Structure 1
Amino acid sequence: MSETKYSKIKSWIKSNILDGTFQPYQKISSESELMKQFNVSRHTVRLALGELVSEGWLYKEQGSGTYVSDRSSRNNLYNLVDSKNIAIITTYISDYIFPSIIRGAESVLSKEGYQVSLFSTNNDHEIEKRVLETVIAQRFDGVIVEPTRSAISNPNINYYLNLESLNIPYIMINAFYDELEPISVTLNDMCGGFLQAEHLIKLGHRNILGFFKTDDIQGSKRMKGYLKAHRDYGVTIVPQNIITYNTSEKEGTGLLEKLDDILINSPDKVTGIICYNDELAMKILDVLRQRNLQVPDDISIVGFDDSFLAEVSEVKLTTVKHPKSELGEVAAKLIIEMVNNINEPKAESQAVNSYVFEPSLVVRSSTKKIGE
């Protein structure tokens, strides 16, 4: 029990240092205050503080108290010897389109002599916090990061602000936290959602379902494109045809049960389905098979990302192209420029700007014209 409590004290102090709440040379809470805050003995507090001092996070001044160390000079000295380290943080690492994005970035970074460390947040804010603490503690030269659940308020903004104060450049991919206005490499998701809906509308479809994952900003923007295409082509928007979900619902059956319910009970026949990504499209294809509905004869379906999944099923998927490895390459080139700018005199540094890829539609056999 004592071990758990002492670890909590250590973690709390380190988190406050890493998110910038405790600044170098700032005096931290007294032993008595920490005893009261964590309901522990003085021995437990001293054990935690002693380890943080020996690890270089804190230092003591006799008769005055305990203060936060300035670790920057120490880490900069370390980086002169063993530098060129980039952290790549994505929501997922080993599945779907993420290996391609990571390979694209690694290919550029390795050519320039950078070591790459990979981290995954599993699209979870608590994991993102732990990853950012590791990245700040180890003082990487730069960070390429995919935001976690980018459409909702982020509790870890302080960590990104601390990266800025520590002069550690970061670049965001696929999405970005709007309040930070960071350099980013993204796809025009609104345009992608428009292309999905426009394609089906031009084929004569009018009753089109749209599935959008809306705790990531990409899903909200794709939904915006879906709505814009309906408006631009004068097609009535049916509110019940818009189905939203979040990360926690991604693996459950509830989403597919909603689809099943609509297919059974909708007063008008659904002829087209737009999916947030190809991964979801594959699951929807399974539901359609169970209902003995043929794609594209009974229902047309459009995915997003042009992943490897688009061509592995028996129905080749019409989908929106995502740049994948090219996005990773561009992000890597930009972070290298930003790292170089840190070491250049201001007059010689190059301006680094965000980059937006424009999407295109890849038409395969999962869509067809109504009545064809």
Structure 2
Amino acid sequence: MAQKTKYNMVKEKITEWITSGQVGPGEKIYSENELVKKFGVSRHTIRQAIGDLVHEGWLYREQGAGTFCSGQRLHHKLPENKTQNTNRKNIGVITTYISDYIFPSIIKGIESYLTEQGYSLTFACTDNDIEKEKQCLQSMLSRNIDGLIVEPTKSGSFNPNINFFLELEQNKIPYLMINQFYPQLVPPHIIVNDQKGGFLAAEHLIELGHHKIIGIFKADDLQGIYRMQGFIEAHRENNIPLSAEMMINYSTEEQNDVLIDKVRKLLSTSEEMPTGIICYNDQIAVSVLNCLRELGLSVPGDISIVGFDDSFLAEATELTSVTHPKIELGIQAAKWIVSAVENRNQEGNEPQATVFEPELVIRNSSSFLKNDCIVS
């Protein structure tokens, strides 16, 4: 019980820093070591409290940089000695995840522009779960938001939460989808040309002499579907046969051990050893890299590997990867929603779709096939 009291005390104090304005949106909070000394509690207690505040949307983490205030304080009652601007507009932001991988950079882009324009933000994340998305949408509607930026959940199949988006339309509340979109709605969206990204990744390995390439793609979102389409297209254009066994599809629930078991099985049962692997994103690529090491295979000596998103993980592991605009996508999303809100009652000029064109960043995880090595 004492541990619980300390844990709650840490959470309440950090929340107080945020709601009082002592820590502003985008500002870094104390390090773990500093918090341990400040509160006189164990590192485990600090991590548990910080983890909860990240999950609840108060804080977000950036790999190698620290933990920052997410801006959630803007939606809570200000102290009596603070004057609240009742005209302040509120934008909802729903992402599949909020604290890991490329999402902090996207959120930073959104937040930097919206706060600069005097807008407040309400953050929520779905963990790529349909039921959680429903709860997030219900919460946003109850807050009377002025606009919504949302990253869809499992966009590769029919979404049962379509009615909430139709309600937004009926109430003339503009919304924008990022990274992917629900094709049933054909909504305004800002995405990356994922099909081209899949094509670039596959073409790169093909040009290096690889003809036996594994493609690993997420099956329950449009990004994975489009990236797989590009992968197939590159094989067709280069007249390279592609067997179904070379494509591994996985769902959100399978993205850890189940997926890696599929990779191990394919590598151990394939009659001809694959020499290249293209992964849905850099997170999956790092897991595959670890798997290859366990199997005694070297990268790129035995197998070349390409990821997606050109994240900090790609930089840290020298991974060849397809770019994702991250911060720029967030800024453009924020600009779109502000324009849509300001022009709500008149003809706006917001584009229905914005598509970023990806590029390939070549690092040390891909190289010429041994037998086809070219010496310059």
Using the size of structure 2 for normalisation, the TM-score is: 0.75
Quick one: which of 99, 109, 112 aligns to 1:107?
Answer: 112
- Alignment match, 1:210: 215
- Alignment match, 1:35: none
Work out whether residues 163 and 169 of structure 1, in 8 Å CA contact, stay in contact via their aligned partners in 2: yes
Which consecutive residues of structure 1, in runs of 5 or more, have no partner in the other structure?
Answer: 1-78
1:82 Cα offset (Å): 4.0
Residues matched between the structures, number: 288
Quick one: which of 272, 275, 299 aligns to 1:271?
Answer: 275
Aligned amino acid, residue 331 of structure 2: E
1:351 Cα offset (Å): 4.2
The alignment status of 1:242 with 2:247, answered yes or no, reads: yes
SS at match of 1:302: strand
- Alignment match, 2:11: none
Work out whether residues 296 and 366 of structure 1, in 8 Å CA contact, stay in contact via their aligned partners in 2: yes
1:87-98 paired onto structure 2 within 5 Å? 87-98=92-103
Quick one: which of 293, 297, 321 aligns to 1:293?
Answer: 297
- Alignment match, 2:353: 354
The alignment status of 1:124 with 2:129, answered yes or no, reads: yes
- Alignment match, 1:30: none
- Alignment match, 1:31: none
1:19-58 paired onto structure 2 within 5 Å? none
Identity %: 50
Work out whether residues 302 and 319 of structure 1, in 8 Å CA contact, stay in contact via their aligned partners in 2: yes
State the alpha-carbon separation in 1 of the partners of residues 280 and 94 from structure 2: 22
1:96 Cα offset (Å): 0.5
Cα-Cα RMSD? 1.3
- Alignment match, 1:323: 325
After TM superposition, the structure 1 stretch with the greater mean CA deviation from structure 2, 275-284 or 258-267, is 258-267
1:174 Cα offset (Å): 0.3
Larger Rg: 1
State the alpha-carbon separation in 2 of the partners of residues 269 and 124 from structure 1: 36
State the alpha-carbon separation in 1 of the partners of residues 349 and 296 from structure 2: 58
State the alpha-carbon separation in 1 of the partners of residues 258 and 349 from structure 2: 49
Quick one: which of 169, 174, 177 aligns to 2:179?
Answer: 174
State the alpha-carbon separation in 2 of the partners of residues 254 and 353 from structure 1: 38
The alignment status of 1:184 with 2:189, answered yes or no, reads: yes
- Alignment match, 2:286: 282
CA deviations on 1:298-340 (whole Å, 9 max, x unpaired) are: 0000000001000213xx0000000011000111000011001
Quick one: which of 303, 306, 323 aligns to 2:307?
Answer: 303
Work out whether residues 90 and 121 of structure 1, in 8 Å CA contact, stay in contact via their aligned partners in 2: yes
List 4+ stretches of structure 1 deviating above 6 A: none
Work out whether residues 188 and 351 of structure 2, in 8 Å CA contact, stay in contact via their aligned partners in 1: yes
Quick one: which of 250, 258, 267 aligns to 1:254?
Answer: 258
- Alignment match, 2:147: 142
Work out whether residues 278 and 303 of structure 1, in 8 Å CA contact, stay in contact via their aligned partners in 2: yes
1:83 Cα offset (Å): 3.0
Aligned amino acid, residue 231 of structure 2: Y
Aligned amino acid, residue 133 of structure 2: E
Work out whether residues 187 and 352 of structure 2, in 8 Å CA contact, stay in contact via their aligned partners in 1: no
State the alpha-carbon separation in 2 of the partners of residues 142 and 156 from structure 1: 17
Work out whether residues 338 and 352 of structure 1, in 8 Å CA contact, stay in contact via their aligned partners in 2: no
Gap change, CA 1:255 and 1:351, over 3 Å in 2: closer
State the alpha-carbon separation in 2 of the partners of residues 131 and 267 from structure 1: 47
Aligned amino acid, residue 323 of structure 2: K
Work out whether residues 336 and 350 of structure 2, in 8 Å CA contact, stay in contact via their aligned partners in 1: no
- Alignment match, 2:64: none
1:353 Cα offset (Å): 3.1
SS at match of 2:343: helix
Work out whether residues 88 and 118 of structure 2, in 8 Å CA contact, stay in contact via their aligned partners in 1: no
1:260 Cα offset (Å): 1.1
- Alignment match, 2:156: 151
State the alpha-carbon separation in 2 of the partners of residues 261 and 340 from structure 1: 54
State the alpha-carbon separation in 2 of the partners of residues 318 and 277 from structure 1: 11
Which consecutive residues of structure 2, in runs of 5 or more, have no partner in the other structure?
Answer: 1-83
State the alpha-carbon separation in 1 of the partners of residues 136 and 306 from structure 2: 35
State the alpha-carbon separation in 1 of the partners of residues 350 and 262 from structure 2: 48
1:352 Cα offset (Å): 3.4
The alignment status of 1:165 with 2:164, answered yes or no, reads: no
Aligned amino acid, residue 312 of structure 2: F
Gap change, CA 1:83 and 1:235, over 3 Å in 2: same
Work out whether residues 151 and 217 of structure 1, in 8 Å CA contact, stay in contact via their aligned partners in 2: yes
State the alpha-carbon separation in 2 of the partners of residues 182 and 214 from structure 1: 21
Gap change, CA 1:356 and 1:177, over 3 Å in 2: same
CA deviations on 1:98-144 (whole Å, 9 max, x unpaired) are: 00000011111111001111100010111111111111111111000
State the alpha-carbon separation in 1 of the partners of residues 95 and 327 from structure 2: 14
State the alpha-carbon separation in 1 of the partners of residues 204 and 175 from structure 2: 37
State the alpha-carbon separation in 2 of the partners of residues 162 and 189 from structure 1: 29
Gap change, CA 1:351 and 1:254, over 3 Å in 2: closer
State the alpha-carbon separation in 2 of the partners of residues 224 and 192 from structure 1: 10
1:80 Cα offset (Å): 9.1
- Alignment match, 1:70: none
